[in-house]
Amino acid sequence: MSAPADLDHKATTPFDPPRAEAAAMAGPVYLDHNATTPLDPRVGEAMAPWLGVRHGNPSSVHSFGRGARAAVELAREQVAELVGGQSPEVVFTASGTEANNAVLRSAFAGRDGGHLVISELEHPSIHAAADRLEGLAVDVTRLCPGGDGVVEAAALAEALRPDTRLACLMLANNELGTLQPVAEASAACRARGVPLLCDAVQAAGKLAFDARALGVDYLVVAAHKFHGPVGAAALWIREGAVFEPLILGGGQERRRRAGTENVAALVGLGACAALASRELDGRIERLGGLRDRLEAGLGDIPDARLHCASSPRLPHTTHVAFSGLSGEELVVRLDLAGFAVSTGAACASGVVEPSRTLLAMGVAPAEALASIRISLGTTNDEAEIARFLPVLAREVEALRGLSAAPAARAAAG
């Protein structure tokens, strides 16, 4: 983390009418990159021929097919380089959700019962797949993180049993950005012969990692989280690890995922992987600097509490609670004011539920409901953060005033 930025926004960004006008004309500011990221124009350029003049089924033997095959295999190499594996170990899927589901299904395919260990921090694609397995007589252990948003590797090691068929620990959490002790967990899993799935969807493009060095058996990345297209993701499967395909049909992806390849999307995945490999250090430094600037400014808002601020974290994710208000309402007001952020809360049947992740950490439901996530991206800049902070402070104050008013009226009589 770099040193906190100057808190005096007026000093660092003097009021400048032409610039303020330009900012207003620039349109809404996107601060929700953990939900999805805008396509990098260079990725779009790489994909464009495959959405236009170039086409072909990679399984066809003619020149069109061979061209498509070459493009898909280049993408495979680019992804392998990003995750630190060999290209034959990379299986393309349509989403991170599909890849996670495939691994959970595979681990329990064709056998009744058994035991699965997951962390409470995992993405819903793992929770929902685990819930379904539980309905099929699989015993599921769910590990809670500490108040620091980190699951202890020792707790995972202790949870392993002779009948454990799979453990899941994500590399970085999507709500908090906290990094998990995956290498330690994988050492414990290896010692017990238990394969480990690592969901690295939020880490790719924001953190240097190497699947082999992490010692995991399966690792997942998704293009749309690091400036690639939606509809392209990759499941890295360590050579020799067991895998039963989820989708059956043709022999694509070495019989590990049937279906004609989405060449344009995979070219996009390869391109964003190549850019991330090349530009990672600069991105980490830039995003970390913006995040520090943001968090220093949040310190000026009364009763703002950062979640997991001193935990090892991704460089671009901030989760903050503002006591006495509704995070959901704050998100709506910020949206109207031109800033896109999110809550970690899930909205089921019109009722906003507190974030499962925050509750698992021991955060009180009221505080969980008063939290928002701000996730930065490569297109954000200092000027946007400087514009955002006073608007956030104003909306927090306004919402607190609204929620205090009925109580004051009631007290008055």
How, if at all, do strands 139-143 and 90-93 pair? unpaired
Window of 91-99, 110-118, 135-143, 205-213 that interacts with ligand PLP by CB under 6 A: 91-99
Here's the x/- map for ligand PLP, 231-270, by CB under 6 A: it reads as --x-------------------------------------
Q: Is 174 in the site for ligand PLP (CB under 6 A)?
A: yes
For 93, phi and psi rounded to 5 degrees? -135, 175
Nearer to ligand PLP, 289 or 344 (CB): 344
Written as six digits, the tokens of 141 are 């252990």
For 122, phi and psi rounded to 5 degrees? -60, 160
Window of 38-46, 53-61, 198-206, 388-396 that interacts with ligand PLP by CB under 6 A: 198-206
Who contacts 11 (Cβ-Cβ below 8 Å, separation ≥6)?
none
- Cβ contact 123:34 at 8 Å: no
- Cβ contact 176:147 at 8 Å: no
Q: Is 97 in the site for ligand PLP (CB under 6 A)?
A: yes
Q: Is 355 in the site for ligand PLP (CB under 6 A)?
A: no
Least gap, CB of 295 to ligand PLP (angstroms): 21
Among 123, 293, 307, 400, binds ligand PLP (CB under 6 A): 123
Nearer to ligand PLP, 81 or 199 (CB): 199
Burial of residue 374 (number of CB atoms within 10 Å: 0-12, 13-18, 19+):
buried
Residue by residue, DSSP assigns 141-190 as EEEPP-TTS---HHHHHHH--TTEEEEE--SB-TTT-BB--HHHHHHHHH
Annotated active-site residue in 144, 168, 198, 347: 347
Please name the amino acid found at residue 239: E
Q: What is the torsion angle, in degrees rounded to the nearest 10, for the CA atoms of residue 251, residue 252, residue 257 and residue 258?
A: -70
Written as six digits, the tokens of 134 are 């539980």
Least gap, CB of 404 to ligand PLP (angstroms): 35
Among 186, 202, 252, 375, binds ligand PLP (CB under 6 A): 202
Among 32, 199, 292, 295, binds ligand PLP (CB under 6 A): 199
- Cβ contact 86:110 at 8 Å: no
Among 39, 170, 211, 345, binds ligand PLP (CB under 6 A): 170
Residue facing ligand PLP at closest CB distance: 96
Here's the x/- map for ligand PLP, 17-36, by CB under 6 A: it reads as --------------------
Pairwise CA distance, residues 188 & 135, whole Å: 27
308 counts as catalytic:
no
Report how many residues bind ligand PLP under the rule CB under 6 A. Answer: 12
Q: Is 96 in the site for ligand PLP (CB under 6 A)?
A: yes
For the annotated catalytic residues, the residue numbers are 347
Which spans of this chain sit near ligand PLP (rule: CB under 6 A)?
A: 95-97, 123, 125, 170, 174, 199, 201-202, 222, 233
